[in-house]
Structure formats: structure tokens, C-alpha cells
Amino acid sequence: MSSPLLRQLSGYGLTTAHILYRLPDHPFFLQTFIWQEYDLAPDFPELNQFLAFWRREIDGKLHSVRVAHKRLIGPAECRIAAAQFAYH
């Protein structure tokens, strides 16, 4: 399932993670990294997989991760009309 539209129709939403990490050579300095992908809330399997990769492969230790999530495709809004007008 690689198409973004198919993922959204399957319940995925756009997830953005703001990652602060420590520089390996200067651990008192923090660097920013932004990650964005379609993911399933509230478990966030894609983000957790990426963070596991980070801990395993990247030298910079994670300081904090802030997550924002928005489903882009949702149920349609319906409102009942209070009146009906006919135009000729």
C-alpha cells in the first residue's frame, strides 16, 4: 500500500514529529530534525519504527519528540436543511 490516497482511505493521517537530539561530538548542543509520514494514531507504528532505527543506527541521542497528527480524509459533513425553496 504505497499510494498516499490509499493509505488515507485506510485510516492513516499525516504525522509530523519534531525531534530534538544531542550532537554526538557536543552533547550539550541540541539539533532539530523534522520527520513527516502517513501513520496510524494513536500507536504510530511508522514513527516507532523510525525511532527504533534512529536509536540503533544514528549516534545522536534523542532528547525529545513532539508529535502532531491530522487525518486528512474524514467523514463528510451533513446538515439537515431547515427549509426548501423552489426556483423556476
pLDDT (tens digit per residue) in 10-52: 888 999 999 999 999 999 999 999 999 999 999 999 999 999 9
**What is the CB neighbour count within 10 angstroms for residue 71?**
14
Q: Which residues are CB-neighbours of 63 under 8 A, at least 6 positions away? A: 20, 21, 22, 30
- 77 found inside a domain: no
Tell me the C-alpha distance between 38 and 16, whole Å: 9
pLDDT the model gives residue 67? 97
- 84 found inside a domain: no
**Which residue range forms the structural domain that includes residue 54?**
4-70
- 86 found inside a domain: no
Number of domains, the chain: 1
- 78 found inside a domain: no
**Model pTM score:** 0.77
